Chains A and B, each alone.
Chain A
Amino acid sequence: MHEIVLILASVMFGIPGGIFVLVAVQGKLRDRWRRQYVSQELARQDVLLVNTKRLLEADPSRPPEVLAATVVRCLDDARHALAIFRTKLGGEVRSLTASTLLARDEAMLRLKEQARAAGFDAVLNIRFETSQVLPMTVEVLAYGTGILRRRDAS
């Protein structure tokens, strides 16, 4: 009798628990790989991103264009549950901080890619907007103005 209860209990909690842990681990690993790629790409200096209006001089022969990128990200269920637990304890919600930062970097990277594709080499006046489109999802909008820098300026 005892054994049956034990087996039932371990099946009932063990399988969902195992899936939970696996999901959390794969989510974390996937984010880490993505983060490595994104920060490596962002470190490339071919397109300069700034949030000022006038620091860089534009080439008048190339009209500027607005570039915008949106990224929506969410945490996996396991880290979501841990994040909710964290809001009861207080302190920094690290998983969410990292996830939001990744969403923003991803948006910046897409701005960079768009700029490169359009033949620009700088994005001026970058702004960020953050919102929630669904509970526990982060939506990041990054937008700016792509320009071609004046060659003789530097």
Chain B
Amino acid sequence: MAKDRMMVVTTETVPGHRIVEVLGLARGNTIRARHLGRDIMAGLKSMVGGEIKSYTELLTSAREEALARMLEEAEDLGANAVVNLRFTTASVMQGAAELFAYGTAVRTEPE
């Protein structure tokens, strides 16, 4: 897994490391849908309020997938770290959600 070899931070620099090369933008996205049964359950749940667990899970796994795709791309660029990671979500279709992860792929050296 790329995740084990790669440092990912949401800051502009990696603490304790020096950035020796900036390689460019790495990004990954996924659009996920839950099936009809879950949608109906979520509809019922919205009557009483509270957390809609199935959607939370859906978005969590989508986020992990988007992150993994971004890391793969960073690895292809020859990076060992991704700085300034950002997530965005968007609804591009009824019943589906998009998760998009992007960051700057860099090569670092320990200070």
Contact = CB atoms under 8 A, between A and B. Distances in A.
Contacts of B31: 92-93, 96-97, 100
Interface residues on B, range: 20 to 34
A38 B33 CA distance: 27
Contact of B94 (A54, A56, A87): A87
Residue of A84, A92, A97 with most chain B CB atoms under a 10 A cut-off? A97
A90 B92 contact: no
A138 interface: yes
B93 A97 contact: no
Contacts, number: 107
Contacts of A52: 12, 22, 83-84, 104
Contacts of B104: 50-52, 55
Interface residues of A, number: 36
A91 B25 contact: no
19 contacts: A50-B24, A51-B103, A55-B13, A83-B93, A89-B35, A90-B34, A90-B35, A91-B33, A91-B35, A92-B32, A93-B31, A97-B31, A100-B92, A104-B100, A126-B25, A130-B92, A132-B92, A136-B92, A138-B92
